[in-house]
Structures are given as structure tokens and as C-alpha cells.
Structure 1
């Protein structure tokens, strides 16, 4: 799904034929794998053409450069992360805040684990291209705003210890995001990673204590 509110124009081709649609899907799948394998800086369009089983000329008919491909991939992952962290159970934030927080973090961390290599490439890209820093900022801001709205709506919380609650949410989102990066994006493929259920409990305990049992 294309997010029209993202900070950069996403140049994703919209072919009308089944063959064209299948080709775009194949390019994005190959790009997802290739960026995960090589990282952002080292990835070349010629490598993507080969992995997509296309000529370089055919690839350029769909995407002008690797940034168009990568932004489309990151946008899709963000949409999936955002959806995965939305609770789809009978638990309601107003009556079961801990359970809701735990399920939300579990969805986020599980999806992050599934895309850990691309997320590592994404963080690499934020170090060299402002467009990716903007995309990263937009992604985290979406999560902060959603929780801020829920806290105000369901618990009438806009401040915590005399500070705007946004400050606490910025710290909590940063903690969860960095934990996911350290636990899942940094380890090599041979290292055992912490399972998402255990990871979700750790970060959710911190979220709940910070938001509902603040000193």
C-alpha cells in the first residue's frame, strides 16, 4: 500500500497489465532480498536487474534509480509495521492497557524480526541520505501520535510528572526501536536472537510502568 502522507513522493509504477504488475512485484521482492544482503550503499541497479531476471534497460523502465526501489520497499514495511502493532484482539486499551501494549509490541517486534536485514539497510541509509532520515522520522512520529491520541482518549493523559506525555512517548518509542535494532538487525545470521514474546514482555513492562506507575 502506498502511503500518500509519507515525506517523499513515492515513484511506484502502476502497470495495468497482469504481466506488468507481476514484474513490479518481482522487482520489489528481489530488492527486498538484495538490500538485506548487501546493504543500502553497496546495492547496484545492475545487481537488482540480474536478481529480478530482467535486463537493465527493462528495470529502468519501471524504476529510475535504486532510491525509488528502496523507498517503495521501506514504505511497504512501515505500513506493515504500523498494522502489525495495531491490536486486533478483544482487549481494549481503556480497560486492559498492559495487554494492549504487550500485543502491540509483539506485533511490531515480530514484524521487525521478519524484515531485520532490510531494517539494518534502512538505518544505514539514514546515515547518508536525508530522504531516509525524513522517512525514519515520519515512521516513528506515526507511532508516537497514535499512542498519544489513545492515551488522551482512553485515560485522559496528556502529561506525566508535569511534563507533556509526548516526551515520555518519544523515549519509549526510541527504546523499543533501538531494542529491536540491537536484538534483530545487528546479530549475524548464526547468532540466536531473543524471541519476540520475551522481547515484547521486556519492553511492555517498561512502557506500562512508565505510563501508568510513574513516580
Structure 2
């Protein structure tokens, strides 16, 4: 048990060190050697836990996305369209606020997704998890007579997530031509007016 605990601590030490190095250097310029130096561990130790920097970054990526999942998985059981609009606006706002809080890491994520096949594959998996969750909310709203029944929940969810994702990435840029409030309002209005009866 003690051995297992030590191994877990070492793994966490590597990931924490990597987080700092990735934020400082970006994805492409980060090396395993820099991470090892930052973690202050033996050279071979990192390779006991990870094959390469991509695998370390996936741990970081999935960890930060847990915070976004927590927002996506908030209870959603509106009784009226007005209640649905309020809940959706609240979720969108929290999602975008978190994007702004985590923008330094999201910038590195965007870079990683563009150059690492492992990061791109992981992002695709993350996306699908969000889409599946949104589709459940759409199906709930349709079942309860709040949303248009002729729409396919999966397709609605896909479009809705892509719109949120686009604003999420834009809010990580140094210069953004809109406020977070404007983004949340427009996203909510476009979505709810199109989907909810």
C-alpha cells in the first residue's frame, strides 16, 4: 500500500511539474527533460509512468476538463421554457467563465490538439462526452413538451456544443471582440429560440 501511495505521489509530482512547464513554454517547445528537471526526479522515473510528453499532457487536459464536465452535468429538469432558458444561460455563463479562468491552459490545449494526434483524439472523445450529455437534456425537454420534437437530440447537441466550443476558444485569445456576458446571452438566445417551443 505504501509503495502504491509513493508511486501515486511521484506521478502527481510529474504532472504538476509538467503543468508549469507547459504553461511556460507551450506544448511544442516543452520537452520531457524540462519536465524531469522541474519535477526534480531521476531521468528514467518519468518514463516509468509516461511514454512521452503527450501522455503527460493528456492527464492535465482530462483533469481540467473535469471542471467543465461538472458544469455540463448540473441537474437539468425545467418545467417551463422560461426555466429552461434560465438554466441554460446559467450553464453557458459558468462554462465561459471557466474558459476565461483556465485560458492559459486552454491555449496550450488548442496548440496540442493541432499537433499531437493523441491530444486530438482525446479532445474528440471529450467532445463526444459533452454532446451525449447535452443530447440527454434535449431529449428530456422534448419528452416534457418544452423542445421541438422534430429535431434530433444528437444533432442539436452537436451544434450546441460546437457553438460553445467556438466561443470558449475565442475567449482564450488576447483580444476578444465581445464580452463574456454578450457571448452567454447570444448563445442562449440562438439556442433556446431555435430548439424550445
TM bucket (normalised to shorter chain) is 0.7 to 0.9
Determine whether 1:200 maps to 2:184.
yes
> 1:16 corresponds to which residue?
4
SS of match in other structure, 2:28? coil
1:1-215 to 2 correspondence within 5 Å?
16-17=4-5, 19-87=6-74, 92-95=77-80, 96-156=83-143, 163-184=151-172, 186-187=173-174, 196=180, 199-212=183-196
TM-score by length of 2: 0.80
Unaligned runs of 5+ in 2: none
How far apart in 2 are the matches of 1:180 and 1:26? 29
* Aligned length, in residue pairs: 192
CA distances 1:98-124 after superposition (whole Å, capped 9, x unpaired): 121122222322222232222222222
TM-score by length of 1: 0.74
Unaligned runs of 5+ in 1: 1-14
1:165 is displaced (CA, Å) by 4.0
> 1:5 corresponds to which residue?
none
How far apart in 2 are the matches of 1:39 and 1:81? 22
